Amino acid sequence: MPKHAEAHRNACDRCHTLKNRCVRSNNHHGACERCERLQLQCNYSEKGKTGRPKQKPREKPSPAQTVDQSVLDKFRFSSGPVSERSDAWSSSHGEANAQAATHMPHGNPAFDLHFDNVNSQVDPFNWLSASDGGDSAQLDAGLFEDMCFSETNEEAPLKELLDLQTRLHTLNTTQLEDNARRRSGLTGFHIPGSSNVSEILVVMERLTGLLKSQSIGDRASSSQSTSSESLKDDDGKNTLLLLHAFSCYAYLLRLLKPLVTSLHSQCQGSSSDAQGSDGKSVAATVSLGTFSLASRPALNAQMTLSLISNLVEDLHSSARRATFCPLQNKPSDPMATDSPSAPPKRTGSPMMTAAMLVLEEMLHKEDFVLQKLRSCTFSSAPH
């Protein structure tokens, strides 16, 4: 080892830069093992140069990269009160806007004219109103809408079914509490299911619309012509939607059974079930604006049953189409009932098995409700 080795550091320049362990070999020229193996020149610097390599001095921005403050002033967003979403958008995109402005050309008449026509109080979510691009503005709007709402549209049917299921669970809980009050003889009870008839009808209409929509019904029929991988994926999504739809339908049938029974007794002239302990009527009343059928309970019950019957028949047909069950021909005798078609035989995931079990239970409850509705409709029809 040379005499001046003490004035040099223990690691060669390459190992020092790469932060590697430097081990000298027993050769005549004193190169480290790593440099000798790689056949590289091994150099040991003095101890005064043992620090980390200095960073390169920052380059001064070129004139083309400077920001024109007048352009930024014209493009500044509103400083007045805006929504929280606008504030978040401005804070997250302010840096991107400033960076994009550094590459904007200067002295372009079209560019300056465009920003002269832009109001300085521009809301970032109304930016299309400041553009006169015609088709380009419509295209940008379509891309912006797809970017923001594509995932939401995909999950919208499932979220709506979960919302319906929650509402129906609340209605069913209310009905059970009303039944408990009635059995205990407390005042203020309601006919089971009649206190929220309007909400039940709204839920039935929304559920029918979902079963008829492309998100559930058409996807099931179109999945037969797709490839095996996409068929498996689409069938899993469709099965989950059907499971929630059948659960909503089962809730509805549980709510409709006591309601239809009560309205059927009113049609036959027995109004004792429609009165509370204080003698006041607590039945559901059909009303349209100032027009009400509260003074005619029998006609009111017939009108309510007619509305329920139409919605149940429509829901009955939509559920069959969504589960590949062919609809049977309606019997000529209104008193006759449809024999419930057996649930489709499917072997697959546990989710599909659960959906079919819910459907099987739903068919038994549906048979009673349909029979009761058709008998009421037939008995109340004009002769």
**CATH number of the domain bearing residue 19:** 4.10.240
Using 50, 70 and 90 to split pLDDT, how confident is the model at 68? low
Residue 229: predicted pLDDT? 47
pLDDT for 32 beyond 80:
yes
pLDDT for 378 beyond 80:
no
Q: Are both 165 and 298 inside the same structural domain? A: yes
Tokens 């620090």 sit on residue: 51
Describe the chain by its helix, strand, coil percentages, rounded to 5.
60, 5, 35
Asked if the structure places residue 20 within a domain, the reply is: yes
Asked if the structure places residue 74 within a domain, the reply is: no
Amino acid 220 reads A
Q: Are both 43 and 188 inside the same structural domain? A: no
Question: Percent of the chain having pLDDT more than 70?
Answer: 40
Report which of residues 351 and 329 the model is more confident about.
Answer: 351
Residue-number span of the structural domain to which 163 is assigned? 159-380
Lowest mean pLDDT among 62-71, 93-102, 208-217, 351-360: 93-102
Residue 121: predicted pLDDT? 44
Asked if the structure places residue 345 within a domain, the reply is: yes
Q: How far apart are CA 340 and CA 30, in angstroms?
A: 95
pLDDT for 119 beyond 50:
no
Asked if the structure places residue 336 within a domain, the reply is: yes
What does pTM read for this prediction? 0.46
Q: What is the mean pLDDT of residues 97-104?
A: 48
Q: What are phi and psi of 287, to 5 degrees?
A: -140, 150
Which value, to the nearest 10 degrees, does the dihedral of the CA atoms of residues 373, 377, 378, 381 take?
A: 170
Q: What is the mean pLDDT of residues 52-65?
A: 58
pLDDT for 37 beyond 80:
yes
Report which of residues 67 and 75 the model is more confident about.
Answer: 67
Tokens 């669970």 sit on residue: 169
Asked if the structure places residue 267 within a domain, the reply is: yes
Residue 100: predicted pLDDT? 47
Long-range contacts of 53-57 (CB under 8 A, 24+ apart): 53/17
What number of other Cβ atoms are within 10 A of residue 323's Cβ? 20
Asked if the structure places residue 61 within a domain, the reply is: no
Report which of residues 166 and 141 the model is more confident about.
Answer: 166
Q: 287: which DSSP letter?
A: E
Asked if the structure places residue 172 within a domain, the reply is: yes
Q: Are both 214 and 348 inside the same structural domain? A: yes
Q: How far apart are CA 251 and CA 249, in angstroms?
A: 5
Asked if the structure places residue 233 within a domain, the reply is: yes
Average pLDDT, the chain: 63
Report which of residues 336 and 185 the model is more confident about.
Answer: 185
Highest mean pLDDT among 76-85, 130-139, 248-257: 248-257
Q: How do residues 241-256 score in pLDDT, each as one tens digit?
A: 877 888 888 888 888 8
Residue 154: predicted pLDDT? 56
pLDDT for 370 beyond 50:
yes
Residue 381: predicted pLDDT? 52
What is the tally of structural domains in the chain?
2
Q: What is the mean pLDDT of residues 317-336?
A: 54
Q: Are both 167 and 30 inside the same structural domain? A: no
For Cα atoms 23, 29, 32, give the angle at the middle one, nearest 5 degrees: 15
Q: How far apart are CA 125 and CA 89, in angstroms?
A: 9
